[in-house]
Amino acid sequence: MTETTTPRVAIVTGGSGGIGRAVATRLAADGLHVLVHYSGGKDRADEVVEEITAAGGVASTAQADVADEIEVAAMFDAVEQRYGGLDVVVHTAGIMPLSPFLELKLDDLDRIHRTNIRGTFVVGQEGLRRMRAGGALINTSTSVTKLQQVGYSAYVASKGAVEAITLMLAREMRGRDITVNTVAPGPTDTPLFTDGKSQELIDRIAAQSPMERIGRPGDIAEVVAFLAGPGRWLNGQIIYANGGVI
């Protein structure tokens, strides 16, 4: 008699591009059924699903404002209805307006707070309420919380909040066999990082790493895949995935 196993299921927020896309395809390659979340990039999310299904995986899309608890609840309802449960939440969705502190528009600060902090709470609450034993919540921060580069004050403040709750959430999951970790990428070749930067500046940033390059989305996806799968003894940790910049 052949033993059947229930496929593990993941939601990847911000899965329509950049690091989120790499994470979604990597988890699908590991056999997870993946819901690819998007906010406004439906065409890009559809492309991710096409890529996954062409490789023999299972995936679909859902739209939601990550800071809207009603829309997020509907997205989690959808993943349970389609795939029968939930095991992994990878929260990569976020925004990064940059500005010197003294020139920062408070409306931009409010937008960053809403998406990056409130969104992390909304997605995390819904995910942890529904997640099966053996599950993993993986949030994203940034290595800039340690690098302390100028112009990133509002963004770093929002990601510092994400880091601050990581161990606390892991401890609150005591007895449920659920891990909570945060991955903090360094400079990575995505539009979020490269847009508005000259090639000369990108090359200068790349030279700071002992690896003499900036990260690739796949580099970050490998770390996430480990935390989502075999890395069960890593819990409550901030993992700075940056090639040795710090």
Report pLDDT digits (tens) over 72-105. Answer: 999 999 999 999 999 999 999 999 999 999 999 9
The domain segmentation of the chain, as residue ranges, is 9-188+216-241
* Average pLDDT across the chain, whole number: 95
Confidence of residue 4 (pLDDT cuts 50, 70, 90): low
| Overall fold of domain 9-188+216-241 | Rossmann fold (3.40.50)
Residue with tokens 């890593």: 234
Report pLDDT digits (tens) over 136-167. Answer: 999 999 999 999 889 999 999 999 999 999 99
Mean pLDDT of 114-141: 98
According to DSSP H, which parts of 173-242 are helical? 191-194, 199-206, 217-228
Confidence of residue 2 (pLDDT cuts 50, 70, 90): very low
CA atoms within 13 A on the CB side of 159: 29
Share in percent of the chain as helix, strand, coil (round to 5): 45, 15, 35
Q: What percent of the chain has pLDDT over 90?
A: 84
β-pairing, 33-38 vs 9-13, is: parallel
Give the Cα-Cα-Cα angle 73, 78, 80 (nearest 5 degrees): 95
Active site residue 155: yes
The residue with greater pLDDT, 95 or 198, is: 95
**Res. 192: pLDDT tops 50:** yes
Mean pLDDT of 215-238: 97
pLDDT of residue 1: 42
Which pair of structure tokens corresponds to residue 211? 């690896």
**Res. 112: pLDDT tops 60:** yes
- The single residue of 38, 83, 155, 240 carrying the catalytic annotation is 155
